[in-house]
Amino acid sequence: MFQKKQLIIFLAILFNLIFINGNLIDTDYSRSFKPFLETKNKIGNIIKDPKTEQIYVIGEYQTQPEEVDKTFTGNNFYTLAPKTTIPNFVYENSSKTTPTPTPTPTPKGKSKSTTKPIDSSLTESDELLTGSKKNYFKVVKASIYNGCVAYIGKGLQDGNTFIAMYNLNNVSEYFQVDSSHSYLSLSVDDTFIWATYKEGNQVYLKPIVHDGCKKIVHKNDPYVPMKVNITNPEAVISQPITSSTRFIYIYDSAAHVLVKFSHSSSLKEFYETEGGRLNVLDACSVRLYRYDPEKRNTYWMVSKKDGFTLYNERSEKSISLTSGDDTTNYCAPFATKGLDTFYATPGSDELSRTIPGISFEVTHPCYGDKGTGEIKIIAPQDVFQFKWEDQLSATKSLIRKNLSDGDYILQYWLNGIDDPINMVRKNISIITPDNPMFINVTHACVNAAQGVFNFTNPKHPDFSYEYILYSEDGKKPVILKDGSVFPGLYGDRNYTVNITTTTKDIFKHQCFYSVKEFLPNDKAEKPIIEYTNLTCADSKDARIKIVNFKPEKYNYIVTPSKYNITSEGTIENVSDLNIVIKAEIKGGICSQLVSVDIYSPPSAKVVKEKLKPKVIKPPCYGSKGSIKVASMDGIDFELTDSTGKVHQPIINKIRTLEFNGLTADKYILEAKIKSTRGSNMYCGSVPNNLTLAQPKRIQITDTFIESIDCTRANLANMTITASGGTQYNGSYYDFSLSSGALSHGHYLNVSYWVDGIYSLNISDSKGCVATYNNITIKRPSKCQVHNINGIHPQGQNPNSIQNGGGSGHGNSKKDDKNKLGLILGLCLGIGIPFIILATVLTVVLVKKFGHRFARTPSMRNQPRPNTVPVFMGGKIHNIDNF
C-alpha cells in the first residue's frame, strides 16, 4: 500500500500566455526551457485543464537526491497560466514521527489554512526524505479537471501502482490513494476518476467517485468495473458533460483506434457507441483539441513520431500538420491551446512550443542592401488560410519579397475548422543590421602586443557574428564567434578582418564583409628600478628608486595606491612585498609596467609553522641517533645538547640538515632568522625542544634458573623471560645458543634442558643483541640431569649487549640457517608409545621446516651444531633446533 507521504509535492512557477483580442500572438517558438532545472527532473506529463484552459507540466519522478538530507522543496509541478496559486509544501526532517507540511504562499482572499496531519502510523524510518529508493515513484499518467489533479504513480522499489488525487484550489487537501489494482490509464472529470486496469487479457474500466475532489469514495460504492473491448488502454479521455450523455474515450494503442463509449445514468450499462471507432494510425498520444457544442462534433490532436495530425471525429477526415524537413521526434507528451502546442521530446527535461505544420524563412537585408528583405511561409498545401494585416485581402502566395525594415503581421488559421481561437497572428520583423565593419582602434606599443580592434556597433538579434582576423606577418588567423574584440595585437603592421553574419534560424542566411586596417605603434620607456629589501619581517624600511624618472613625459601609477612617488622618483617606507609601477605616456595610450618583488626575511610565525624537525631514535640501547630538519632560506640552525655542546650539521643532496652521532639526550634546535643588513645580524630566533630517546636495555629476569624441588610442576616451569629493546610485533624475541639452536617468543622454556651453564643470545626486531654467557640450569641433586661432555660457556664476558645491524635478527648467519625455533617439549612420566610418537612428529616438523645442512662426523655423545641436549626416555639426546 503506497503511503500518503510518498506522494508528489508541487511547486508553481508561472509562465504567462499572451492574448490580444482573443487571438493568440505567435511568440518565439525556437526556444525551449527547463521547468525542473532545480531538481533536474524530466518531463513526464503535459496536461490541459478543459475547464480553465490552463496547461500543466508534471515531472516524471518525485525526487531531489542531492538535497535528501536537508529541507526539501518539491519542484515537480509547473503551470503555464497565472490564475491558480499552487501550494509549495516544505517537509522538514525532525525527530517527530509525523513531518509537518507548511503551505506557502497563502492564496489571496483566503485565510492561512491548517494542514491535515499525515497518517500517525507512519514511522520516522519511512519518512519521505530518507533518500532511499522506496520513497521515489514515477508519475505514469495524469489528468486534471477544474483544478482537481488525478494521476497514476508507480513505486520504483516495490513496483506497485496507485491512484492519487489533489485539489489545487484547496491547499489543505492532501492526496487520497487507491491502490486496489495495477492501473494503466485514467481521466478525471467533475464527478469521476475513470481508470483502466487489466486482469488476465480482459481490460476493465472502473468509475471512482471523488466527491468534488475531496476524497475517494470506497464505502457503499454502487459502481462496479465494466469490461471493455480494448487491448492496450494507453489513454482515457472523459469528455466534459454537455447534455444528459457523457462520452468516455479510450485510446487502444495496440489497434491504433480511439474508441467512444457511453453509459446509462446509473452506470450499470456501459457500451461502445455505433461508429465510435476513430482510426488514428500510428498515434503516440491523443488529446482533445476542441468540442463544438453547436455541431456536436469533436476534434482530436494526435502526436506522431514525425509531427501532429488533427482529426475530425464525425467525418473521420484528418489534417496532417507535419513538415518534411523536420527531424524532431514528437512521440511524447503534449498539450494544446488552440494551435499553440507545448511538447517535450522523449526523455527530455526541456519544454518546447510550436504551431504544428508551419514555419517561416525570414531573410534580412545585408548592410547596404536595404529594401531587400524577404518572408517565406513554409506550410502544407491548402491546410491554412493567410492574410497580411497590411494588405486588404487574404492571399494564397507564400512569399513576400523586397521588404523594407518594419513589422509585418500575418494572420493564419486552419481550413475547415470553425474555431474562434484558431486564428494565430504572427509578427515578423525585417531589420537591416547596423554597419558591422565599424571599428575602434587602440594603438600598440613597440615590442608589446597591446593593440586592440573593437567592433562596437550593436548586433542584430537574429544574426550570429563571426570575425576572422588575418595579419600580414602570416600568423594563424584568429576566429571570434562569441565576441567582437581582438586584443593583444602588435603594431606597425596591416590587418584584415573578414566578418560573416548568419541568421539563427534553420535557413542560415549569410552576409559577408571585410575590413582592412593599419595598426600604428606608440613607444613607452620601461622604468629602471633600484631598491633595497626589508630588514626584517615586521619592518617598513624598503626603498624603491626610479632611475630614469621623467615626470614631464610620463604619468606614474603605483600599486598599491597608498604609496606616493617623491619629486626625486623614490618610494619610501615600503612594507609590501610586491610593488607595480606603471609609466603611461601623457596624452597617449601606451604604457610600460614593472613589477618589483621586495624580499622580506621570514617571520617567526612562518618559521615556526614550517619548522618540522625529524628525530631518529637510536635502534639499540647505547647506540647513536640523529635529528634532521629541512633547510630554509634566510635561516641558520643551531643544535645544543643538555651539556651546552653545539653540534654541527651536514647538508645532504635534498637540502636537509642532518645532525648525526647523537646520544640519547634533550636538545634545543634553534632556527635563527638572518637580517638583510649583515651576515652576523639576526631578526630573532625560534627554539624547538627535542628529546632523543633510546630503547631500554634488553634484560632477562635471572641468569640462574633453579627448580626448588623435584615436583613435576616446578620442573616444568623453568623459564627465561626477556624485556626491553624493540620486540617483534610487540611481543617476542629471538633466543639463540652458541650451538646455533634458535627459538622465538616472549620467554624461553628451559624446563627440559640438561643441567649446566649456557651461553644465550637475545635479539630484538632492530637487530640489537644481548649476550648472557652464564645462564645456569640447576635442579635439586635428586633430579639433576648431566651431559657427560657438558656445555661450557665461551670465552666472553658473563653478560654483554651487542648492537646489531639492520637485518632485524640477532645473528644473520644463524638466521639464514635456522627457520625453525627451539621446539621444546618433553612431558615426564608419559608412556613410551607417546614418547615415540612425539619423537616422530618432531622429526617430521624438522624435515618440513628446517634447512638441511651437511654435518661432519663427531664423537658419540658429543653435542652437534644447532642442537640442545634434552633428557628423554631415560637418556640424554642432542635434538636439532629443539
- Give 383 or 801, the one with higher predicted confidence: 383
Sign of CA dihedral 829, 833, 834, 835: positive
Q: Give the residue-averaged pLDDT of 595-618.
A: 94
Confidence grade of residue 97 (pLDDT, cut at 50, 70, 90): very low
User: How would you write 696-716 as a 3-class SS string?
Assistant: CCCEECCCEEECCCCCHHHHC
- pLDDT band, residue 777 (cuts 50/70/90): very high
pLDDT at 752 over 60: yes
pLDDT of residue 269: 78
CA distance 697 to 323: 95
Torsion of CA 475, 480, 484, 486, to 10 degrees: -30
> Would you say 845 and 802 are in contact if contact means Cβ atoms under 8 Å apart?
no
Q: What is the pLDDT of residue 715?
A: 87
Question: Is the pLDDT reported for residue 230 higher than 80?
Answer: yes
Cα end-to-end span (Å), the chain = 73
pLDDT at 523: 84
Burial of 664 (0-12, 13-18, 19+ CB in 10 A): middle
Q: Stretch 29-49: mean pLDDT, rounded?
A: 78
Q: Taking a C-beta distance cutoff of 8 angstroms, is the pair 612, 623 a contact?
A: no
Residue 204 in contact with residue 228, Cβ under 8 Å? yes
**Residue 630: per-residue pLDDT:** 93
Residue 548 contacts by C-beta under 8 Å, 6 or more apart in sequence? 525, 527, 528
**Residue 701: how many other CB atoms lie within 10 Å:** 11
Q: State the Cα angle at 562 between 560 and 564, rounded to 5°.
A: 105
801: pLDDT strictly greater than 50: no
Is the pLDDT reported for residue 688 higher than 50? yes
Q: Tell whether the model's pLDDT for residue 361 goes beyond 60.
A: yes
Lowest-confidence region among 26-40, 289-303, 868-882:
868-882
pLDDT: which is higher, 369 or 178: 369
User: 13: burial class by Cβ within 10 Å (0-12, 13-18, 19+)?
Assistant: middle
- Rounded to whole angstroms, the Cα distance separating 252 from 368 reads 59
Q: Is the pLDDT of residue 590 over 80?
A: yes
Residue 685 amino acid letter:
S
Burial class (CB in 10 A: 0-12, 13-18, 19+), 694: middle
Instruction: Tell me the pLDDT band of 507, cut-offs 50, 70 and 90.
Output: confident
Phi/psi zone of residue 254: left (φ > 0), alpha (ψ -120 to 50 degrees), beta?
A: alpha
Highest mean pLDDT among 233-247, 434-448, 588-602, 634-648: 634-648
pLDDT bucket at 855, cuts 50 / 70 / 90: very low
For residue 656, give the 3-state DSSP assignment. Answer: strand
Enter the C-alpha cell of residue 734: 629471538
Cell numbers given for 582: 606603471
Half-sphere exposure of 469 (CA within 13 A, CB side): 26
Q: Which domains does the chain have, with CATH numbers?
A: 280-356 (no CATH), 358-430 (2.60.40), 440-522 (2.60.40.10), 529-597 (no CATH), 604-692 (2.60.40.10), 699-880 (no CATH)
Contact 738, 775 (CB under 8 A): no
* CA-wise closest residue to 11 among 91, 118, 122: 91
Structure confidence at residue 540 as a pLDDT band (50, 70, 90): very high
Torsion, CA 833, CA 837, CA 843, CA 849, rounded to 10: -160
Q: Is pLDDT at 386 greater than 50 in this prediction?
A: yes
| Bond preceding residue 613 cis, omega within 30 of 0 | no
Mean pLDDT of the 632-637 span: 92
Tell me the percentage of the chain whose pLDDT exceeds 90: 42
> Across residues 262-269, what is the average pLDDT?
80
pLDDT given at position 286: 95
SS (H, E, C) 74-92: CCCEEECCCCCCCCEEEEC
Residue 278 has pLDDT above 90, yes or no: yes
Long-range contacts of 355-359 (CB under 8 A, 24+ apart): 355/26, 355/29, 355/424, 356/307, 356/308, 356/321, 356/322, 357/307, 357/308, 357/319, 357/320, 357/321, 357/322, 357/323, 357/383, 357/384, 358/321, 358/384, 358/412, 359/323, 359/506
- Taking each continuous run of H as one helix and of E as one strand, the counts in the chain are 4, 68
pLDDT the model gives residue 789 = 45
pLDDT at position 92 is: 24
Average of per-residue pLDDT across 296-321: 91
Q: What's the pLDDT band for 785 if we cut at 50, 70, 90?
A: confident
Please state the separation of Cα 339 from the chain's center in Å. Answer: 42
Cis peptide before 560 (omega within 30 of 0): yes
- 151-188 per-position pLDDT tens digit: 898 887 778 888 888 888 875 565 667 888 999 999 99
| pLDDT attached to residue 512 | 96
Q: How far apart are CA 24 and CA 42, in angstroms?
A: 28
Q: What integer pLDDT is reported at residue 242 of this predicted model?
A: 56
Q: What is the percentage of the chain residues whose pLDDT exceeds 70?
A: 74
What average pLDDT does the chain have?
77
Query: What are residue 778's DSSP bridge partners?
Result: 706
**Short-list 609, 607, 646, 627, CA closest to 691:** 627
Q: Are 649 and 664 in contact (CB under 8 A)?
A: no
pLDDT greater than 50 at residue 111 = no
Residue at 648: amino acid letter = Q
Q: Measured in whole angstroms, how far is the alpha carbon of residue 504 from the centre of its chain?
A: 35
**Cα angle value 131/35/91 (rounded, 5°):** 35
Across 27-31, 425-429, 598-602, least confident range: 27-31
**Which cell is 267 given?**
452506470
In sequence order, which residues have a C-beta less than 8 Å from that of residue 121 and are 6 or more positions away?
none
